[in-house]
Amino acid sequence: MSLHFILGRAGTGKTRYCLEAIRRELLAAPDGPPLILLVPEQATFQMEKALVTAPGLKGSIRAQVLSFRRLAWRVAQEVGGAARPYIGDLARHMLLRRLLEYYAGRLEILGRGAWRQPGFLAEVASTLREFKHYRLTPQDLRRAAEQVASSDPSGTLAAKLRDLALLWEEMEKALAPRFQDPEDTLEYLAADLPRSENFKGAEVWVDGFTGFTPQEYAVLESLLRICRRVHVTLCLDRPSQAGGSLSIDPFHPSRETRAKLADLARRWGITVEPPTLLEAEPPRRFAAAPDLAYVEQNFFRPGAPAFVGETTSVRLLAASDRRAEVEGVARDIVRLCRTRGYRWRDVAVMVRDLDLYRDLLVNVFTDYAIPFFLDAKRPLLYHPAVELLRAAVETVDRDWAYEPLFRLLKTDLVPLSREEVDVLENYVLAHGIRGGRWLDGRPWTYRLRYTLDEDVEPGPGDEEDLERINRLREQVVAFLGPFHQALRASRNVRETTLALYNLLLRLDVPGRLEEWRARAMEQGRLDEAQEHAQIWEAVVEVMEQLVEILGDEALTLREYAQILAAGLEGHRLSLVPQGLDQVLIASLDRSRHPEVRAAYLLGVNEGVLPARPPAGGFLKDAERERLKEKGVELAPYGERLLLEEQHLIYLALTRSREHLTLSYALADEEGRALRPSQVINRLKALLPGVEVAALGPEPGAGDPLSYIARPAPALSFLAGQLRRFKDGEEIDPAWLEVYNWAREHPHYRRRLADILDGLFYTNREEPLSREVTQALYGSTVKSSVSRLESFQACPFSHFLGHGLKLRERRRYKLVAPDLGRFFHAALKKLAAAVMEGDIDWGSLDPGYCRDLGRRIAEELAPQLQNEILLSTARYRYLTRKLRQTVEQAAGVLTEQARHSAFRPAGLELSFGRGESLPPLEIPLDGERVLEISGRIDRVDVAPGPEGLWVRVVDYKSGPADLKLPDLFWGLKLQLFTYLELLLTFGPRLFGRPCLPAGVLYFPVINPLVRTPGPAAEAPEGELLKKYRMKGFVVAHLPALKLMDDHLPDPSPFLPVGIKKDGTLDARSAALTADQIEALRRHLRRLLKEIGERIARGEVDIAPYRRRGTSPCRYCPYRPVCGFDPLLPGDGYRFLPDPDAREIWERLLQE
């Protein structure tokens, strides 16, 4: 028995030495004791392939390539291991979460609820796994806790250790009767090896390891005791000098490993043979690349002179950002394969932090048609089948709430199409449907109501829509209803899991996954096909482990959902390469990178390589240091991790035998500056002639052929080049050749056309054709005042909202228009009740009116959006506030009536065809007509000297005012259009001539009024001022006194003031008869102009901008129009803000 070390730096042929030794043994004696090549798990396939392809070998059962775990399985098969099944990470997480919850009262640190945070369970599980790897026991933790507590009674470390010991013990108790922890596998292996007959006298070669855990050392110790000879390869040379951050010995971990193994051998009296030192100069791997050999030999040597030869095998790439970095690497890989005869398998891509580059590498390599294998486990959590599991349980637990239910329906694993799910979702959102309303069996007949004071008859198509909605609802209930009943009736985890499994079978999830797998295979998405192929087994494994661990426990659905999520959180899918000729992509610390012809190391930035030691973890570095002082050995941390980083850097720099490319980004995705790593600086110093290529997002002045690597990305770059050409810049003729090539190829001709469309695109909309305009609006352009105002704000917004009738998705929540409808309906009912009783407003008691307002508000509240005001405590509180607002407004209206001769003559007065008043018609060119219809909130009248004074009152629940520039530019046409209608058709309605008295906004609010103190008298006057109406009134003192008999004293109701000489003050919003006539003429001219533009099909994206405001701020169509004032072709219509004198000069001249 002996221990033999095979030492050598990278590239000296250690693995080749082992393979050749095994080959010689097999050729000399095909039968005999086993020859074992023990390698890391991820290297078994590579080494098996290398062994079976060795020259002269036709196959042998004597030689075996094993990993530690595969060796454990072989030994267990021989000596008889425990028949208990292994517990997986899923079950471990589930059990751990259950224990944390159950023992929360006894846990000192972990009982505080931190375990509910995402990722925390995985951290605790990882810590317990680490303890096992380092051969600790719960008793070891308790002893360490006592030692720590004696020196630091108030610290948290001792409490953490006691918590972990408790959890560990209880987990072992729960597992012992039925399960075996795979983390104990190597412990069993170390104990069982001395009883193995098959491996006695074997010869073992251990290759590819830098260091070992204590469990692995125990296995090696057993191998040393039973095997004839154990060879261990280590990446190691003779001792080197130390000093300086860059001169940290990269072989330090290997030196420690050699010393520990030698001590083990000596402890058992096993011979330690003189080592075999492989010292080829240059190393075999770098025989054709002297610069690579120089880097390998001198990178970590302090004071090493600069390389004096030509640097041809090492390149540096400085990219503007990470995307440009990955694209540059992809182009270079294509170049090597195209011009140098490389195979894809000759190339490896390495990164230190795969999370930074994963998506970019997948997307860019796919664009460049580079076959690749990403050596990383895929998370299970985001697959649709797993989402179905989680969402189904949450749906029942949360009473069919919208969010989990539609997460489930959007997995594409249910018998509804995406379009059907969208239709159902819109209806459910609009009406707030959940719980019993899904399951009560009664048809859904909810419809959107736009008024509250009358029933709405179904419109055209409503019945068909409702029939479809109810049919879709029945399809959902058909598969979710039985599941709901089964879950509600389940008594334990086993029954809950069975219900979940039956749901998956009812939906034929295995069949659907197989369809997805086959489709992905057909389309060449091989990794995705693997995911679909593995996911069903993974889901069944989750369920089996749930039942095995917690089967008889009674959990609430909330607890079950949380434990299920905890189990799924840490699960990963392991994929295997789908072909032999692929580029390998892997992180430095995970994969065993084979020797390749070309290696690319991406992300060589400060803080990424070498990586900063992780700041997190359940045990902090300071706590690990204290445990080390107490004799407790754990995984490397702090400075020890930095030593391992140096070793990873060494491995990365020595993987390639011909070409090594290192790249780094100068900025991240948000434009923040990034610095190159010290690795880059060291290489520049060591290789003064190294090429540093700059990579930008677009081709520069260099060789364009390097950017023309594949058709799809080349066309993307062509777009930028054509833009430069369009702007008058010179471009390389090669890009015009790309353009001509794309024109001749049908597959890319459409893409080229899209590029040209984008190149000459301006964000402008051409007028609609005569046919489209006729189809939308007809010969008579029917409109409302609000629609005309919308056109004045932005023609394109008007077209989308009123031409195409696009609407925002309705949701079951109160928005400002809902409140407006509520207040309008309440005040209409209030005024109607007074008018029906033939009671004069002015004679009413304000208290009576407030009480009437309260009763009306309570009557209307259930009618708003299908009883939304009764749905939650928040909305019930809002109902009280709305009732108070109506009460307050009713009292103020009564107070106004007591001081006014004006009385309501029309409430919600409709005008249009078939209404009380005809539509307002504006003749347009070409015998077309603009027909305006609508509804006036309130029309007040009072007797005048030559007819009736008429004023328009509009209720507003938000800030509202009417200024002269708003009228001049046509931004607020509503009140004056209503007044124009009344002056035109009022005599027909009232039987007397109508005189313009004013247009006013009445604020429906519940204002706060400041008082001098609690004992002060109620500030009635201050309250009324809050309700002062805004707008314009006629500049006629008798008419004004009819509106408010406070005049000439200050009016609390009107926007006017009377000076001592009896004239209106300058702040009064009053108009003379001539000014009103001028505004009427201007109004008709504006209405005609707007009507003409609509009839011509104008749909310009042209919002106005005035005084820093724009309709874009609240426009729901911004995602549609894409308006951006910084882009060519986009721009506001800037409206100046002339003063009143200038406006009147222009209006009176019209």
pTM of the model: 0.75
Same domain? For 1015 and 1128 the reply is yes
Does a structural domain hold residue 894?
no
Q: E strand or H helix at 974, and its extent?
A: helix 974-990
Same domain? For 452 and 494 the reply is yes
Q: Compute the average pLDDT of residues 121-135.
A: 84
Does a structural domain hold residue 1131?
yes
Question: What total number of domains does the chain contain?
Answer: 7
pLDDT at 250: 81
SS3 label, residue 586: strand
Q: What is the pLDDT of residues 479-493, one digit of tens each?
A: 999 999 999 999 999
Confidence of residue 42 (pLDDT cuts 50, 70, 90): confident
Q: What is the pLDDT of residues 151-182, one digit of tens each?
A: 877 678 888 889 889 998 988 888 877 778 88
Same domain? For 940 and 1063 the reply is yes
Residue 1016 above 60 pLDDT? no
Does a structural domain hold residue 306?
yes
Say which range, 102-106, 363-367, 601-605, 974-978, has the weakest mean pLDDT: 102-106
pLDDT at 1014: 47
End position of a domain, from candidates 160, 179, 198: 179
Nearest to 1042 by CA among 1111, 1148, 940: 940
Does a structural domain hold residue 39?
yes
Confidence of residue 83 (pLDDT cuts 50, 70, 90): low
Structure-token match 């580079």, residue found: 370
Q: Compute the average pLDDT of residues 105-118.
A: 74
Confidence of residue 1015 (pLDDT cuts 50, 70, 90): very low
Q: What is the pLDDT of residues 757-781, one digit of tens each?
A: 877 777 788 899 888 988 888 888 9
Q: What is the pLDDT of residues 849-867, one digit of tens each?
A: 888 888 887 777 777 666 6
Confidence of residue 408 (pLDDT cuts 50, 70, 90): very high
CB atoms within 10 A of CB 901: 17
Does a structural domain hold residue 893?
no
The residue with greater pLDDT, 1122 or 410, is: 410
Same domain? For 508 and 532 the reply is yes
Q: What is the pLDDT of residues 416-429, one digit of tens each?
A: 999 999 999 999 98
Apex 255 CA angle, 249 and 256, nearest 5? 110
pLDDT at 803: 87
pLDDT at 34: 92
Q: Is 1010 exposed, middle or buried (0-12, 13-18, 19+ CB in 10 A)?
A: exposed
Contacts for 745 with CB less than 8 Å, ≥ 6 apart: 711
The residue with greater pLDDT, 89 or 5, is: 5
The answer to whether 939 and 905 have CB atoms below 8 angstroms apart is yes
Does a structural domain hold residue 288?
no
Same domain? For 123 and 222 the reply is no
Nearest to 130 by CA among 197, 225, 30, 214: 214
Show the domain range for 313.
294-373+582-695
The residue with greater pLDDT, 823 or 1116, is: 1116
Same domain? For 602 and 691 the reply is yes
Structure-token match 């949360």, residue found: 398
Contacts for 764 with CB less than 8 Å, ≥ 6 apart: 1100, 1101, 1129
CB atoms within 10 A of CB 251: 24
Same domain? For 1040 and 965 the reply is yes
Same domain? For 615 and 557 the reply is no
Residue 3 above 60 pLDDT? yes
Q: Compute the average pLDDT of residues 444-450.
A: 70
Q: Compute the average pLDDT of residues 367-386.
A: 84
Using CA atoms, how far apart are residues 1068 and 1045, in angstroms rounded to an integer? 17
Residue 320 above 60 pLDDT? yes
Share of the chain above pLDDT 70, in %: 91
Using CA atoms, how far apart are residues 359 and 337, in angstroms rounded to an integer? 23
Residue 592 above 80 pLDDT? no
End position of a domain, from candidates 539, 573, 607: 573
The residue with greater pLDDT, 282 or 449, is: 282
DSSP-derived secondary structure letter, 230? E
Please state at what angle helix 418-431 crosses helix 402-409, rounded to 10 degrees.
170
Same domain? For 49 and 110 the reply is no
DSSP-derived secondary structure letter, 283? -
Task: Tell me the H-state helices in 596-695.
Answer: 621-629, 639-653, 678-686
Q: Is 379 exposed, middle or buried (0-12, 13-18, 19+ CB in 10 A)?
A: middle
Residue 908 above 70 pLDDT? yes
pLDDT at 449: 56
Does a structural domain hold residue 286?
no
Using CA atoms, how far apart are residues 21 and 25, in angstroms rounded to an integer? 6
Using CA atoms, how far apart are residues 47 and 209, in angstroms rounded to an integer? 14
For all residues of the chain together, what is the average pLDDT? 85
Q: Which pair of structure tokens corresponds to residue 73? A: 């399985």
Same domain? For 431 and 530 the reply is yes
Contacts for 905 with CB less than 8 Å, ≥ 6 apart: 939, 940, 941, 990
Same domain? For 456 and 429 the reply is yes
Long-range contacts of 560-563 (CB under 8 A, 24+ apart): 560/393, 560/493, 560/496, 561/390, 561/393, 561/394, 561/397, 562/97, 563/94, 563/97, 563/98
Confidence of residue 81 (pLDDT cuts 50, 70, 90): low
Exposure string of 259-278, with b = 16+ CB inside 10 Å and e = fewer, is eebbebbeeeebebeebeeb
Q: What is the pLDDT of residues 1017-1054, one digit of tens each?
A: 445 666 777 889 999 999 999 999 999 998 888 899 99
Q: What is the pLDDT of residues 211-257, one digit of tens each?
A: 898 999 999 999 999 999 999 999 887 644 444 443 467 888 888 89
Long-range contacts of 159-163 (CB under 8 A, 24+ apart): 159/108, 159/109, 160/109, 160/110, 160/618, 160/619, 160/623, 162/108, 163/107, 163/108, 163/109, 163/110, 163/111
Say which range, 463-467, 684-688, 818-822, has the weakest mean pLDDT: 818-822
Q: Is 98 exposed, middle or buried (0-12, 13-18, 19+ CB in 10 A)?
A: buried
Q: What is the pLDDT of residues 700-736, one digit of tens each?
A: 656 778 788 888 888 888 888 888 888 888 888 888 8
DSSP-derived secondary structure letter, 799? I
Does a structural domain hold residue 97?
yes
Residue 388 above 80 pLDDT? yes
CB atoms within 10 A of CB 672: 7
Same domain? For 903 and 788 the reply is yes
